[in-house]
Amino acid sequence: MSTSAADRRIRGLRGPKPPVDPWKAHGTVVDDERRPNGLVERALTIFLAGAECPFTCSFCDLWRYTIEGPTPHGALPKQIEDALATVDTGGVARIKLYNASNFFDRRAVPVEDLPRIAELCAPFGGVTVESHASTIGSATLRFAEQLSGRLEVAMGLETTHPGASFHLNKRLDLERFDRACELLVEHDIDIRAFVLLGAPGVPAEETVEWTVRSAEYAAQHGAAIVSIIPMRGGNGEMERLESLGLFTPPTLHQLESALDRCLPLRRTVVTVDLWDIERLATCPHCSDARIQRLKRMNLRGHAEPPVSCLACDPA
């Protein structure tokens, strides 16, 4: 783990880490998602337990689902085996292995476990993993070769706003993201990108604009899928930034506007992350209708008439 002053401050503001069993996955989700070919694909996500990410991003809440120290050899294959034994995979075309860290960090995913993981993924035509752009390299290419299906790598671009990088503490510049994309595209590996709505350091009145710009940037660099993630607080650091006027929690209206503006992108599927979306549901009159609209647009990729509400529509 790095030990910069920012890292120590961010970690010091966190609450206690809940106990995590490295031999047991956190859970599974089976859902549908739209792919760039226009088809809707059934996907199984397994939320794996393992080593914490070393990058200490200011906005991260995934550290709660990680263990102290490196992931034990054999733990991830065991988690995947057990999860697959409890889920009906009929009709599932894709498996997503999300380990709350970086799949190509050896502390998080032991290299000696990769062949067995690839074997467990054999029934699926697509395999998605997530990893910091700085970890994309030869290990990524070797894992892609081991798979019988097609590899997709999810990377956090977060934002292209020039002033936000310092507050994100992600240790990622656009050049490094670009190089990772170039390598993946060169070796015919699919790219999924995450961008933030409400990134710290981006003025609230500009947050939709910079989210759209960031999605466009990811698409231009080969991302077939872009997921817009509304920023969450709760880890201490985001509350500190909010108190300094450097972070404003995004709204449901802003999330709708960002997706509406990104839908016309060609050859790239842009969706919004609806995990814990209820926290943005501040209006009792229209929030449910707005969330249902977002769900439909995620799957269909077509614009819908906006939801009108006299109680909360911006003036």
Residue 280 φ/ψ, nearest 5 degrees? -90, -5
CATH of domain 5-300: 3.20.20.70
37-49 CB burial, b ≥16 within 10 A, e <16:
eeeebebbbbbbb
Which positions of the chain have pLDDT values less than 50? 1
Task: Classify residue 254 as exposed, middle or buried by CB count within 10 Å of its CB (0-12, 13-18, 19+).
Answer: buried
pLDDT (0 to 100) of residue 315: 61
> Using one digit for the tens of pLDDT, what is the confidence trace for 222-256?
999 999 999 988 899 999 999 999 999 999 999 99
pLDDT at residue 143, as a whole number: 98
SS3 291: helix
Q: What is the pLDDT of residues 154-179, one digit of tens each?
A: 999 999 999 999 999 999 999 999 99
Q: Which of 217, 195, 219 is nearest to 208 (CA)?
A: 195
- Looking at 198-283, list the stretches that DSSP marks H as alpha helix, in order from N- to C-terminal side: 207-220, 237-243, 252-262
pLDDT at residue 2 in the model: 53
